Chain A
Amino acid sequence: MEKTYYDPADLKKFGDVAEFGPELAKKFFDYYGDVFKEGALTAREKSLIALAVAHAIQCPYCIDAYTSDSLEKGVTDEQMMEAVHVTTAIRGGASLVHSVQMMNKSKKLSM
């Protein structure tokens, strides 16, 4: 595993990041815990958002964790896939919307 960037076993060691800086790690994990508590959004909605974001930032650990978490919150396969399509639409749209700038510039430069 030493010559690969990702090891699934590392997900379980997430808490170990406190070893090199316990104070900030504690702040982060406290914050993290609070973020995912049931609030104005349900825990299930938050899990689906996390799953969608995980695909946007392409974090394999997060995809692993929030696929399990979503299943345990009663999310269906269909709902998980729709969440990923939302990610894809936003990611694709983010590129595409910049084409307005391209078009503006092109039109300005062109006779």
Chain B
Amino acid sequence: MELTTKAYKQTAKKAIADPILQSALAGLQSRLGPATASLYENLPEGPDLRAKAHAYRRKAVDNLDIMLVTLAGKIRENGGEVHFAATAKDAVDICLDIAEKNNVKHVVKGKSMVTEEIGLNRALMDKGIEVNETDLGEYIIQLAGEKPSHIVAPAVHKTRKEVGELFTEKLGTPYTDDPPTLTRDARQALRKKFMAADMGISGCNLACAETGHITTVSNEGNIRMATTLPRVHVAFMGMERIAANLEEHQAILRLMSMGAAAQQIGGYVSYIGGPAAVDHADGPQAFHLVIVDNGRSRILADEEFREMLCCIRCGACLNVCPVYGKIGGHSYGSAYTGPVGAVVTPLLGGINEASHLCQGESLCGACRVACPLNLNLPRMLLALRAKLSEGDPRWNVKPKSRPEKMLFQVWSRINQNRKVYDILLKLGRLIQKIMPSSNHMIRRLPWPFSGWTQSRDMKPLAGKTFMELWKEHQGGRS
């Protein structure tokens, strides 16, 4: 997918013009946003839990090296293998290597965003390996050859009818748009894939250093099957997804379920610590955990953005974001969409390259209120914009939009001097007289303000400023 301002605007425009998508997005937001908010209000531990969970996450991120070493040690003790991948390519290569050594031909996957981030599916398929997504939403978009458009509801942009037609075409089932029947059709097709697979791939919602396990959450049980049926299980985790101990792990996991789907806890929660062994028969023959950096160390090293590593990708911010609610997930052009994507995608993929994401938000602050961990996304959006204004060699950011900067430099000068400011206002009052207007409102503004009058009229400058009126008011009184 393209990461440019032009592509962003074009995809957004298309999304805005699509009535089916608009009603799907509105439905999603009106269902999940308020439901999540009401769960937060009724937390049995009281609202403090969110601040506490933020502190737990922060502690884990601040001590990431120790946490990861502890986790890796425990998993190795239990017979699992742990790999550290510095880049997306390293992560992919590790997986390809495991696949080759184990003579893997068929892969089933549980939903995982980090594998989307590193482009794993493509790489496996290029090696002739069949890859099947098993989360219903992911399966649908895989059949359609599309990308996820929501973090927890990847196929929210598709209607029942579209899914029905897709299944008829790709699975050869009789057409229906009845969701239970569609689910059954998908389940039957997927059962065969599960039975045939020799490798299962999953993400990791949260790991726990103390116990040395990773946790996956789903509502369909598909991840449980993908991680236990095949011979080999490879789990991918972003290196920040870890909690220090079980107590903290449990609090964060509950908040994640609330943020993601307004649930107290996800339907299927699996704790996975290693392969099957003599004393516990369940599980695959081999278990590998791939811990992915791919730009996260750089975020970790910058105090301004370290908070972003506390994110647990629950998607609660998407369900309240008014921009996401209009443009949908595909406009973000990355694995991470909505407000979280607007911050994380530039940090991982380049701030200049994804400048439109941090700038194309209204800074309304709804995401901050909705985030189960109270992450301050607007603050980080502002910090990214500041880098774009002035450039930052540490992040390889080149200053963007010189003309805009110059405009603000001029503005700043004028703003410093009320006399000059007043003279320009007088000039403005003269100029506005020649602008097209009707009913005391200006109909068209010149560049660079023309975007404003695309859909709105503009209130003209008043005959006198309040400061002038104030001076008269004071004069009259004394």
Same complex:
no
Q: Which residues of A contact B (CB under 8 A)?
A: none
Q: Which residues of B contact A (CB under 8 A)?
A: none
